[in-house]
Amino acid sequence: MSTLDQSRARRRILPAAWSTRTGFAVLSLVNVVALWFIIPSGGLVRLTKSGLGCPDWPLCNGGVVPEATYHSTIEYTNRLASAVVMGVSIITWFASRRVEGGGQARRMALVAMAASMAQIPLGGVTVMLDLHPLMVASHFLLSVVALTAAVLCALAARDLRDGRSRRADARRGPLAWVGIVVLLAVVVSGVLTTAAGPHSGDPEVITRFGHLEESAWVHVRAVAALVVIIAALALWLWREPSRDPLSRPLMLAFIPVFLVQIALGEIQYRRGLPWEIIAVHVGVAGIVWALGLAAAWTLARPSSAVAPDAGDESVRRDVAKVAL
């Protein structure tokens, strides 16, 4: 099939508006929300002890439609939700291929799609290994990889829509990069703390990974280090605004959510790790990662406007694509 035929085939698959820079920017945000949703959804499977509600894979108890039992319904619903999320990531990648000048967004959309698709076989292996805690943890961390790529794709799509480019900030950049690394350490140590905790994913599974007190000790220290870095970046940003218009709103959104997450962690630990609070904690963790990553990225690589003529030309091309 020629390049022209391939382009026409993609036009038949996707609405023309999605191939415009504005439409793709909206679609990339939908992709972020979808890939975030699968994090609390998967966490709910584990916390309700439904991890082996479907002990076989890809079917559920030997059938396409599971029996109407509590655990199998939750597990199978999560599988269906994963399929929908994967579909959104595939559509986003196809749309990125039609947007002119979207190289960075296209690469990130590809990573997000690949990570979301990899969840399917990984989920099957996790079930076959009777919910080994490291496999369950890898399931969550792969979701973080997909969400990371989706966030960076959304930022690139917004830059493309607004006619902005990014360059490294030699002054604030190093501290922002350290903030991303420490935030990742907070997420990973939190996942390992859950692997060492009482919620195995199934009543019959007792295998744990590590010791809860030791894992919690590391997690708390990582959070404390992140608090110091965030305070320094926030003060710096307040005294010296970034040229990126997104930096301050993202930081203002991140700080209260991060404080809520700290409070949830303290409450759940003091109350003996009830699964309901942990479920909220897992969902908020995804939001903390997405907002923190986006805020630090805009500080490390702030955007600036490009020549007006280039932006005007992109608008004219978007209008022409919709017309076609």
Q: CB-based burial of residue 25 (10 Å sphere; 0-12 exposed, 13-18 middle, 19+ buried)?
A: buried
Residue 173's nearest CA partner among 223, 236, 222, 231 is 236
- Report helix, strand or coil for 206: coil
Model confidence pLDDT, tens digit, residues 3-39: 545 555 455 556 766 678 889 999 999 999 999 999 9
The first and second tokens of residue 57, run together, are 């894979």
Please give the pLDDT value at position 78: 81
Q: Are 264 and 277 in contact (CB under 8 A)?
A: yes
Q: Which residues of the chain have pLDDT under 70?
A: 1-14, 16-18, 51, 56-59, 61-68, 131, 195-210, 306-324
Q: Does domain 166-304 have CATH number 3.30.70?
A: no
Please give the pLDDT value at position 315: 44
Q: Are 105 and 160 in contact (CB under 8 A)?
A: yes
Please give the pLDDT value at position 192: 82
Counting other chains too, the contacts that 268-276 makes at CB distance below 8 Å and 24 or more residues apart are: 269/216, 273/197, 273/198, 273/199, 275/47, 275/48, 275/199
The CA R_g of the chain, rounded to the nearest whole Å, is: 21
Domain parsing of the chain, residue ranges:
10-163+306-324, 166-304
Q: Which helix (H) or strand (E) holds 305?
A: strand 303-305
Question: What average pLDDT does the structure give for the chain?
Answer: 82
